[in-house]
Structure 1
Amino acid sequence: MGKYIMRRLLQIIPVLFIISFIVFCLVYVAGDPVALMLPEDASQEDILQLRESLGLNEPFYIQYFNYMVGLAQLDFGESFRYNTSALPIVLERLPATIELAVAAMIVAIMIAIPLGIWSATKKNSAIDVVATGGAVIWKAMPNFWLGIMLILIFSVMLGWFPVSGRGTWSHLILPAITLGTGIAAEMTRFIRSSMLEIMNQDYVRTARSKGLKEFFVIHKHAFRNALIPVVTITALQTSTVVGGTLITESVFSWPGLGQLLIQAVNTRDMAIVQASVFIIAFIVIAMNLLADILYKLLDPRITFR
């Protein structure tokens, strides 16, 4: 297993290289940030001087080479908006995004696991129809619309929670529900499908024939063996969580990485954009590796070749 983890860690390098190249190309063609940095009445000489100081007058391949040299040293350049190195700014916002992502996953798991098990054990019943239908509807519901509705109902009308910002646990509830319910809808369907498949296995029928209570059959025998697909979808939802924070953080003015990235895109702050996408990509890759490790812990029969 150690060799497998080492190989996966080495595979991260070319993946991050490809991602960095794509991001650099997209930022390169997005436009000239000099136009946003200088006033409209700036002279052509000022524009050329600033472009030269930022290295934007160099050919594409030279700019990319300089970018890769800095990337090897974890130096993404200086943010012209904050007048400081980009990476510390991104890392400063990262804890807020992780806090929201973890809270959203907790909400998703608390909803999806009991609902998925209940739906599977009550197959084709009214509960199953409501749960699966509700999951489809909830999955199709846009995050920004749900967030706005939660703000109108629970913040403006009832006054139970703050409208926006970050500080206390009450600031976290509405953003976590907004982001977590969409993930729960996806996970509920996977848990239901996995449970239905496992419950038809011989060892589950054997457990029932021994006279074990249905609670122990479901939770000790069936659900534990159904966890591998659940771990898979949970790891795959990492990208959904990170992507969802971009919108959710904007709706609730949550001071995280998503809000920072959107502001950087709007102002063409290339250093912030590149550093943010690099960190997000690394988190997603690390979560996929963690899922592979959890497979082995859940089922010792799994071997890595």
Structure 2
Amino acid sequence: MKNYIFKSVLQLIPLLLLISLIVFLLVHVSGDPVALMLPENATEADRIALSAALGLDQPVYVQFYRFMSGIVQGDFRNSFRYHQQALPIVLERLPASLELSIASILVAILISFPLGILSALKRNSVWDIVITGFSVLGKAAPNFWVAIMLILIFSVQMSLFPVSGRGGFAHLILPAITLGSGLAAKLTRLIRSNLLEVLSQDYVRTARSKGLSETVVVCKHALRNSLLPVVTVIAMDLSGLLGGSLITETIFAWPGMGQLIIQAVNTKDMAIVQAAVFVISIIVVICNLFADILYRYLDPRIKYN
């Protein structure tokens, strides 16, 4: 296992080079960055001066070399909107996004595991029908509608939680429920289907024939072996929660990366976009590595060579 982790870390180097190339190409595929940054009344002299200042008058391979040299030093150039280095701006927003993403995943786990297990154990019962119905509803309900309903009920009418902002634990509850509800609906259905499949296996019937309690059979033998797809979905959805929670962050005025990325795209601030995409990509790669390690823990039969 240690050799696998070491080799996986080494494999991150070419992967990060590929990510760096994609991030570098973002500037060029989005159009002429100089034309995007300059106002409509800019002169040709302004265009030439800005192109020289950004180094865009050099050949592409020279630009890529300078870009890679900057990445090694943590330099993604200055944001022309904030007039400072882009990477510190992104890293300043990262803790808020991580906080909201992790809280959303915890909410999804706390909701989906009990409901998914209950739905599988009570297959085709009233419990199963109700839980499946709520899962479909939770998956279909858009985040902005869930957020508005939560604000109206728990903030406006009941005055239990703050409406917006990032402060104490109370500020985190409603945004986390908003983001976690959709993931909880997906995980509930996934846990139910995987657990039903595992419960029909021979080793589960053998465990029951030995007189083990239903709790031990489900939790120790069945549930653990049905969690591999669940771990995969959580690892994949973390990246979406980090960069794709724009609507939730906007409604709750949460100062995360989602708002920052959309603002940077709208203002053509490509330095911010490049830094944000690079940071999110690294987090996704690390999450996938941890998911692989967790696979080995959940199923000792998995061997990494």
Corresponding position of 2:27: 27
Q: Percent identity?
A: 61
Task: Decide which moves more: 50-59 or 256-265.
Answer: 50-59
C-alpha distance in 2, partners of 1:161/1:55?
Answer: 49
- The 5 A counterparts of 1:57-96 are 57-96=57-96
Corresponding position of 2:298: 298
Say if 2:218 is the partner of 1:218. Answer: yes
Computed over aligned residues only, the root mean square deviation of the Cα atoms, in angstroms, reads 2.2
- Are 1:190 and 1:233, in contact at CA under 8 Å, matched by a contact in 2? no
Corresponding position of 1:139: 139
- Cα separation, partners in 2 of 1:43 and 1:243, compared to 1, 3 Å: closer
Deviation string, structure 1 residues 10-54 (Cα, Å, up to 9, x no partner): 222232333332333233233455567666655543343233212
Corresponding position of 2:118: 118
- Are 1:34 and 1:47, in contact at CA under 8 Å, matched by a contact in 2? yes
- Are 1:204 and 1:217, in contact at CA under 8 Å, matched by a contact in 2? yes
C-alpha distance in 2, partners of 1:277/1:198?
Answer: 38
- Cα separation, partners in 2 of 1:126 and 1:244, compared to 1, 3 Å: farther
| Shift, 1:59, TM fit | 4.3
SS in 2 for 1:300: coil
Report the residue type matching 2:152 in the other structure: L
Corresponding position of 1:196: 196
Report the residue type matching 2:201 in the other structure: Q
Report the residue type matching 1:291 in the other structure: A
Q: TM-score, normalised by structure 1?
A: 0.90
- Are 2:27 and 2:33, in contact at CA under 8 Å, matched by a contact in 1? no
Task: Decide which moves more: 31-40 or 170-179.
Answer: 31-40
- Are 2:243 and 2:280, in contact at CA under 8 Å, matched by a contact in 1? no
SS in 1 for 2:166: coil
Say if 2:205 is the partner of 1:237. Answer: no
Task: Decide which moves more: 112-121 or 205-214.
Answer: 205-214
- Are 2:56 and 2:63, in contact at CA under 8 Å, matched by a contact in 1? yes
- Are 2:26 and 2:274, in contact at CA under 8 Å, matched by a contact in 1? no
C-alpha distance in 2, partners of 1:162/1:262?
Answer: 25
Corresponding position of 1:127: 127
Corresponding position of 2:159: 159
Task: Decide which moves more: 4-13 or 52-61.
Answer: 52-61
Corresponding position of 1:246: 246
Report the residue type matching 2:255 in the other structure: P
- Are 2:162 and 2:170, in contact at CA under 8 Å, matched by a contact in 1? yes
C-alpha distance in 2, partners of 1:151/1:34?
Answer: 42
Deviation string, structure 1 residues 242-290 (Cα, Å, up to 9, x no partner): 2432332223221112221111111111111111101101111111110
C-alpha distance in 2, partners of 1:138/1:59?
Answer: 51
SS in 2 for 1:123: coil
Say if 2:7 is the partner of 1:7. Answer: yes
- Cα separation, partners in 2 of 1:192 and 1:117, compared to 1, 3 Å: same
Q: TM-score, normalised by structure 2?
A: 0.90
Deviation string, structure 1 residues 54-110 (Cα, Å, up to 9, x no partner): 223344443333212212333211111222111111111111111001100110000
Corresponding position of 1:278: 278
- Are 2:228 and 2:295, in contact at CA under 8 Å, matched by a contact in 1? yes
- Are 1:96 and 1:256, in contact at CA under 8 Å, matched by a contact in 2? yes
- Are 2:76 and 2:87, in contact at CA under 8 Å, matched by a contact in 1? yes
- Are 1:143 and 1:244, in contact at CA under 8 Å, matched by a contact in 2? no
Q: Which runs of 5+ in 2 are unaligned?
A: none
Corresponding position of 2:172: 172
- Are 2:232 and 2:291, in contact at CA under 8 Å, matched by a contact in 1? yes
- Are 1:154 and 1:160, in contact at CA under 8 Å, matched by a contact in 2? yes
SS in 1 for 2:245: helix
C-alpha distance in 1, partners of 2:167/2:78?
Answer: 29
Q: Which runs of 5+ in 1 are unaligned?
A: none
Number of equivalent positions? 305
